[in-house]
Amino acid sequence: MEIQRYMELDIDEKLNNELSDLLVASFEPLYPKRRYFKQLPHLRLLVFGDRGQVVGHVGLDYRVMNLNGQPIQVLGVIDLCVQEDVRGNGIGEALLNEVISIGETKQIDFLLLFADRPDLYLRAGFSHVDNACSWLQIDDERQMIRGIGEESFDELMIRPVGTKAWTDGRLDLLGYLY
């Protein structure tokens, strides 16, 4: 299985439509009919099927966050999904392993994600953390800033890939919530 990297700027109309269809089908009824939920990711890892269609996807967002007053470099894992009829063939695991490989070979301290279904991530070495978070709230429909959110999330998971240690306390995402 070949995983291809796509910069967001390189996505054409055909691929845009395929991504929208895959994401909506994977996360309905919550996902809007577009290729992103809150914001466009910087990079996407994609797997294509036998007929050339997208069957696996994960978005990646690279940014600095603030953990208890200290800057950390984070690679956010966004919307990992696999087309329903090819699930169980290792595509999700392969995509996640590629994300981990990127994290371990670049200047990244942590991989971070929010997972409703954590099994795949737990098997890959991610762990749940309990931090009070602040983030930029975005109105999904109007695509406008609503304010600053503050809350802890049961779904927050991290995986260290650098030399820094994760600590309890306050995490400022310095941007939107994935």
Distances in Å between the alpha carbon of 15 and those of 9, 50, 59, 77, 152?
12, 15, 14, 20, 35
Peptide bond into 118 cis (omega under 30): no
Distances in Å between the alpha carbon of 101 and those of 118, 143, 160?
19, 33, 12
Which pair of tokens denotes residue 157? 């998971």
Confidence of residue 141 (pLDDT cuts 50, 70, 90): confident
Instruction: Kindly calculate the radius of gyration of the chain based on its CA atoms and give it in whole angstroms.
Output: 16
Which pair of tokens denotes residue 36? 């992103």
Q: Which domain holds residue 21?
A: 3-176
Confidence of residue 110 (pLDDT cuts 50, 70, 90): very high
| Identity of the residue numbered 104 | E
d(CA 41, CA 73): 16
Model pTM greater than 0.85? yes
Which helix (H) or strand (E) segment is 169 a member of?
strand 169-176
What is the mean pLDDT of the segment spanning 32-44? 94
Which helix (H) or strand (E) segment is 100 a member of?
helix 91-105
Give buried/exposed letters for 34-65 (b at 16+ CB in 10 A, else e): ebbbbbebbbbbbbbeeeeebbbbbbbbeeeb
Average pLDDT of the chain?
96
Q: How many domains does the chain have?
A: 1
Query: At 113, which CATH number?
Result: 3.40.630.30
Coil, helix or strand at residue 27 = helix
Residue 29: per-residue pLDDT: 83
